[in-house]
Structure 1
Amino acid sequence: MITDTGVPKFEKHEFSSKNNRYCLCIPIINEGNRIIKELLRAQKNDIDKIIDIVICDGGSSDGSTDKRILANLGVNTLLIKKDKGKQGAQLRMGFYWALERGYQGIVTVDGNNKDSIEDVPRFIEKLEEGFDFIQGSRFISGGQAVNTPLLRYLSIKLIHAPIISLTAKRLFTDTTNAFRGYSKNYLLHPKVKPFREVFSTYELLAYLSTRASQLGLKTCEIPVTRIYPQKGKVPTKISFFHGNRELLKILINNMRGKYNAD
């Protein structure tokens, strides 16, 4: 079913069997109390009852992946990457494991407690309706962008979203948002091939934002909420200068078709 060799080495800890048609992959690394709070919110809203929650850990060392704690918080499975690569590698690990386990689709969300994990049912509804790529957006009707840093807002509106929309040949409004849904059909499409080592950092997010509509698959945006803290350091893994420079490079490479499968 998956013929590519670009799947990182990883170990798995399954706290429960497969209980639902879809799984929620949450890539994290040293998110501390933020992921705990997010999982508590998910549990409070019975998200763990309607979708299997999978933590895709990049090698946390802060105690946030304690197996007993995660199991008590409704996590179905913990995957721990034992290989090179960053977020892209964590997602390849999670996607591979999920497809091998037989899930019909995958929802992803960041693990820093900024996103409205309560909106997961909306993604499930769209997957059930046959959509192949569902992008969560705080910028469409019904969505909420709270305390978004001005530079982040401007970079999305003026750079990231226009380039992604041009590449995808359709309008997307919140293209840095990793709160998304992917169908099994999309991830296994012969012209997608996400299991390649070129997807090491943020390449896979950009690529999967655009490839579905390029191939004529069914795509949509749905409203979500993203809340940044009023005070303190913004929870992000992207450095302002180097990180944003690399993101721009990825956007240009993606627009040029560098990541497209044969």
Structure 2
Amino acid sequence: MIAKLITGVPKFEYFEFNEKKNKYCLCIPIINEGNRIEKELIRARKNKIDKIVDIIICDGDSTDGSTEKEKLANLGVNSLLIKKDIGKQGAQLRMGFYWALKRGYEGIITIDGNDKDSIEDVPKFIAKLEDGFDFIQGSRFISGGRSVNAPIIRYLSIKFLHAPIISLTAGRRFTDTTNAFRGYSKKYLMHPKVQPFRDVFSTYELLAYLSTRAAQLNLRCCEVPVTRIYPQKGKVPTKISFFKGNGELFKILICNMCGKYNIK
């Protein structure tokens, strides 16, 4: 079915395989992830993650067959959203957030769909949401976290560029700021000075913005330990190109630090 839109939400189709069953949902933005998303969902089902959160696939209109509906339903996916509009990850997240808030979830957890992250750690985010935290950042760089086979350039750029800029902007220290394994409370996303449903959040702007805005508004923030494992061989699964993608990401960090995305 086609969703009825509000301003700032991309056009999308939705397919509900099940009714809302849980207090929280897990939004997974993907596009053409091949068998990686299937492997991730198999791990989720093995660890009964689909029993404690409703899994929502936020697809960017994949063409590789990875979002075949019967297969997703059999793997424990609750709903499939397919973006039919412009924009990349930011648009997919706006689509997912809109769907989740409209459905009445009290919090939203996000994770990449490329099978690099420890989806079995979802209960840690639920526990923090239950404790009243508004922004929960997954980190492989704190006690209990693990980073496996991370490319050295990526590790150095997080440690000496991305994390320091995000921490400076937020006014508090974060250690793994490119990691999309996160939790957001309904209170945070619906705060009048947040307003995530804006077209300016098209690519990676929303991730940067939501990394810092909670602390700026004196909402409760924390990190939880997670694991991120890169493949030993072959191409690194990522949608960010080395030169153009990282250049655009740096511009977004500076715009965010200067308050470009803030609601006054």
> What do residues 198-256 of structure 1 show as CA deviations (whole Å, max 9, x unaligned)?
00000000000000000000000000000000000000000000000000000000000
Deviation at 1:174, TM superposition (A): 0.1
Describe how 1:34-53 pairs up with structure 2 within 5 A: 34-53=36-55
- The reply on whether 1:101 has 2:65 as its aligned counterpart is no
Which structure 2 segments of 5+ residues have no match? none
- The reply on whether 1:227 has 2:229 as its aligned counterpart is yes
* Aligned counterparts of 2:6 and 2:212: Cα–Cα separation in 1: 21
* Aligned counterparts of 1:94 and 1:207: Cα–Cα separation in 2: 17
User: Secondary structure of the equivalent of 1:79?
Assistant: strand
Deviation at 1:12, TM superposition (A): 0.5
AA in 2 matched with 1:36: E
Structure 2 match to 1:173: 175
Structure 1 match to 2:10: 8
RMSD across aligned positions (CA): 0.8
* Aligned counterparts of 2:83 and 2:131: Cα–Cα separation in 1: 32
* Aligned counterparts of 1:4 and 1:74: Cα–Cα separation in 2: 29
* Aligned counterparts of 1:158 and 1:122: Cα–Cα separation in 2: 27
Structure 1 match to 2:258: 256
4+ residue runs of structure 1 moved beyond 3 angstroms?
none
* Aligned counterparts of 2:6 and 2:144: Cα–Cα separation in 1: 39
Structure 2 match to 1:142: 144
AA in 1 matched with 2:51: K
**Contact 1:27–1:58 under 8 Å retained in 2:** yes
* Aligned counterparts of 1:241 and 1:155: Cα–Cα separation in 2: 13
Which structure 1 segments of 5+ residues have no match? none
AA in 1 matched with 2:139: S
AA in 2 matched with 1:37: K
Deviation at 1:129, TM superposition (A): 0.3
User: Secondary structure of the equivalent of 1:24?
Assistant: strand
Structure 2 match to 1:164: 166
* Aligned counterparts of 1:153 and 1:69: Cα–Cα separation in 2: 35
Deviation at 1:5, TM superposition (A): 1.0
AA in 1 matched with 2:57: I
User: Secondary structure of the equivalent of 1:25?
Assistant: strand
Structure 2 match to 1:26: 28
> What do residues 93-112 of structure 1 show as CA deviations (whole Å, max 9, x unaligned)?
00001000000000000000
Deviation at 1:261, TM superposition (A): 1.2
* Aligned counterparts of 2:184 and 2:85: Cα–Cα separation in 1: 24
User: Secondary structure of the equivalent of 2:120?
Assistant: helix
User: Secondary structure of the equivalent of 2:259?
Assistant: coil
Structure 2 match to 1:114: 116
Structure 2 match to 1:87: 89
User: Secondary structure of the equivalent of 2:61?
Assistant: coil
AA in 2 matched with 1:202: Y
* Aligned counterparts of 2:19 and 2:59: Cα–Cα separation in 1: 19
Describe how 1:51-90 pairs up with structure 2 within 5 A: 51-90=53-92
**Contact 1:4–1:196 under 8 Å retained in 2:** no
Percent identity at matched positions? Answer: 79
* Aligned counterparts of 1:55 and 1:142: Cα–Cα separation in 2: 28
Describe how 1:166-245 pairs up with structure 2 within 5 A: 166-245=168-247
* Aligned counterparts of 1:142 and 1:261: Cα–Cα separation in 2: 36
> What do residues 101-126 of structure 1 show as CA deviations (whole Å, max 9, x unaligned)?
00000000000000000000000000
Q: What is the count of residue pairs matched by the alignment?
A: 260
Return the TM-score normalized by structure 1. Answer: 0.99
* Aligned counterparts of 1:226 and 1:4: Cα–Cα separation in 2: 35
AA in 2 matched with 1:248: F
User: Secondary structure of the equivalent of 1:78?
Assistant: strand
User: Secondary structure of the equivalent of 1:166?
Assistant: helix
Return the TM-score normalized by structure 2. Answer: 0.98
Deviation at 1:4, TM superposition (A): 6.5
